[in-house]
């Protein structure tokens, strides 16, 4: 009989991916299914929970057909934050609310005025933003209380998948970190829950367990073709799972994910809640390690918008970056309707472009946007106290030209990881660590990468560009704070 495989599943915002890994870490096969992100109203972003769960069943079934080996275990990771309200059986009581959602902005503004946001950060190391579960729960408690009455769990994405595959209701310390987990004791902060006016909804929070797991249920087995009882493990959610899959093991080392968001995270051996409140402090599965995560909203979604604006698409990016000249432009790339959440929180942040003139071309605007996103990464990584090696992954990092811009703008080497399965790899490693009590040691589990070194010839230009970016940001923030809710 052929050696067994472990399957890692990564449920993203618009795509669900699954990868079958051999015992030596080699990726044998991949499967993917798109999922639908709906916008039922301005600033509202939702997903059909059943469609998302169905995409997981489909990718598992496809891999079962393509890989003629027994499946030893399934690890599941997925998008974090948002609010996935389900009943006792894990069935949705309303559409899932995405982390991109902005409807809870007035809640945050009220909490900010009351000092509650800073209190939350000082207690937990997590600063809520509109798409976090806490503000969304408070918004629903006011506007849809009957929905909350029908729900059994205010879940996260991967936890819904675990419950539907196994019947187990639980979350892990990484997802539970935001917004209510006390990071050192790793228990819910009951005083903070009460301060947010949600004590009467406390029973909606799932139990926190390291490595939630269960056997594959009969109905899920029938839908996928996998044997009933196959172990299923809920890995950390996609940010920490990607750090795990990328090989971030040393304190001070970091990972930059250039995806829909620009997720910057650094491994720490202490919890620090000083400084300007923003970002996340995520518990890992090790009691003495945390990830300082600053997931900025200015990722590839911002670039995609600018590409559409100039009548181009991602295939045109290499030529546009080669042609573009950005010396006279400064872009603040805050296109998300929910504003910005790292390395500062501004729910009403909006994009702007300074320096436009009749001679500005489409390529100039695209290059300036890519550089601005790289400056945002530098801002976040500085706040996260990056001191070690930096790896990068995600669709945006796959562009050699943009990867070089990141190295130049950051002023440091960047190791761009190959493949698109870093999150799925982390999920598979989580599953193996549960089964075997330790991570596999085969070198193939560390993904290959290419180093990009900063070009000494452009260091001064990028230093000046970054200083200009910070200056324009400092000017814009007071204006954002003055914007009134519609």
Residue-wise pLDDT tens digits, 259-286: 888 999 999 999 999 888 889 999 999 9
Beta-strand pair 449-452/414-417 = antiparallel
Residue 129 corresponds to which tokens in the numbers above?
């933003």
Let me know the angle formed at the C-alpha of 139 by 136 and 145, rounded to the nearest 5 degrees: 110
Instruction: Please name each of the domains of the chain with its CATH number.
Output: 5-239 (3.30.420.40), 248-482 (3.30.420.40)
Residue 92 corresponds to which tokens in the numbers above?
């949705």
Mention every residue, 6+ apart, whose C-beta is less than 8 A from residue 156.
Answer: 78, 80, 81, 82, 84, 133, 171, 175, 237
pLDDT category of residue 436 using cuts at 50, 70 and 90: very high
pLDDT above 70 covers what percent of the chain? 99
Mean pLDDT of 65-78: 96
Task: Give the highest mean pLDDT range of 227-231, 261-265, 275-279, 437-441.
Answer: 227-231
Q: Exposure of 385 by Cβ count < 10 A (0-12 exposed, 13-18 middle, 19+ buried)?
A: middle
- Greatest CA separation for the chain: 68
Residue 218 pLDDT exceeds 70? yes
CA torsion 172-173-174-175 (nearest 10°) is 60
Residue 312 contacts residue 298 (beta carbons within 8 Å) = no
Tell me the per-residue pLDDT of 148-162, one tens digit each, with 9 for 90 and over: 999 999 999 999 999
| Angle formed by the axes of helices 400-410 and 459-482, nearest 10° | 80
Residue 362 corresponds to which tokens in the numbers above?
């489409």
The pLDDT value recorded for residue 486 is 44
Among candidates 39, 76, 246, 263, which has minimal Cα distance to 156?
76
Q: Choose the weakest-confidence range: 168-177, 215-224, 255-264, 477-486.
A: 477-486
Residue 334 pLDDT exceeds 60? yes
Tell me the per-residue pLDDT of 386-411, one tens digit each, with 9 for 90 and over: 999 999 998 899 899 999 999 999 99
Residue 2 pLDDT exceeds 90? no
Residue 85 contacts residue 20 (beta carbons within 8 Å) = no
Residue-level length of the chain: 486
Mean pLDDT of 49-53: 98
Residue 220 corresponds to which tokens in the numbers above?
């899920």
Task: Provide the mean pLDDT of the chain.
Answer: 94
DSSP 395: G
Residue 12 corresponds to which tokens in the numbers above?
């993203």
DSSP 224: H
Cα(347)–Cα(111) distance, integer angstroms: 12
Neighbours of 423 (CB within 10 A): 34
């Amino acid at each position: 009989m052929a050696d067994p495989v472990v399957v890692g599943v990564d449920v993203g915002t618009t795509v669900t991916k699954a990868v079958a890994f051999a015992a030596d870490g080699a990726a044998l096969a991949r499967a993917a299914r798109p999922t639908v992100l709906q916008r039922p109203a301005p600033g509202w972003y939702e997903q059909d929970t059943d469609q998302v769960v169905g995409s997981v069943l489909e990718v598992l079934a496809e891999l079962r057909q393509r890989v003629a080996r027994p499946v030893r275990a399934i690890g599941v990771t997925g998008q974090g934050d948002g609010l996935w309200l389900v009943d006792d059986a894990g069935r949705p009581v309303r559409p899932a609310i995405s982390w991109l959602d902005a409807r809870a902005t007035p809640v945050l503004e009220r909490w900010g005025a009351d000092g509650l946001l800073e209190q939350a950060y000082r207690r937990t190391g997590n600063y809520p933003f509109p798409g976090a579960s806490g503000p969304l729960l408070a918004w629903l408690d006011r506007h849809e209380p009957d929905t909350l009455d029908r729900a059994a769990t205010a879940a996260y994405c991967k936890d819904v998948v675990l419950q539907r595959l196994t019947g187990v209701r639980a979350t892990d310390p990484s997802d539970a970190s935001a917004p209510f987990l006390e990071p050192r004791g790793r228990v819910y902060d009951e005083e903070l829950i009460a301060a947010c006016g949600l004590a009467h909804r406390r029973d909606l929070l799932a139990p926190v367990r390291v490595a939630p797991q269960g056997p594959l249920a009969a109905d899920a087995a029938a839908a996928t073709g996998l044997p009933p009882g196959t172990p299923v493990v809920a890995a950390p959610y996609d940010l920490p799972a990607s750090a795990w899959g990328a090989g971030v093991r040393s304190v001070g080392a970091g990972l930059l994910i250039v995806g829909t968001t620009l997720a910057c995270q650094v491994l720490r051996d202490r919890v620090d809640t000083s400084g300007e409140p923003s970002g996340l402090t995520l518990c890992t599965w090790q009691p003495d390690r945390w990830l300082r995560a600053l997931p900025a909203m200015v990722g590839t979604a911002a670039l995609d918008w600018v590409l559409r604006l100039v009548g181009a698409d991602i295939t045109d990016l290499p030529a546009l970056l080669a042609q573009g000249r950005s010396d006279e432009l400064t872009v603040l790339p805050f296109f998300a309707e929910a504003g910005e959440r790292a390395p500062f929180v501004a729910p009403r942040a909006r994009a702007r472009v300074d320096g436009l003139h009749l001679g500005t071309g489409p390529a100039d605007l695209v290059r300036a946007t890519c550089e601005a996103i790289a400056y945002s990464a530098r801002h976040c990584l500085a706040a996260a106290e990056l001191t070690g090696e930096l790896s990068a992954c995600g669709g945006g990092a796959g562009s050699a030209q943009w990867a070089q811009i990141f190295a130049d703008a950051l002023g440091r080497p960047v190791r761009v990881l190959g493949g698109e399965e870093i999150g799925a790899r982390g999920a598979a490693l989580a599953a193996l660590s549960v089964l075997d009590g330790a991570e596999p040691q085969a070198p193939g589990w560390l993904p290959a990468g290419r180093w990009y070194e900063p070009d000494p010839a452009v260091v001064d230009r990028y230093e000046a560009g970054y200083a200009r970016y910070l200056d324009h940001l400092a000017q814009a923030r007071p204006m954002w704070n003055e914007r009134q809710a519609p």
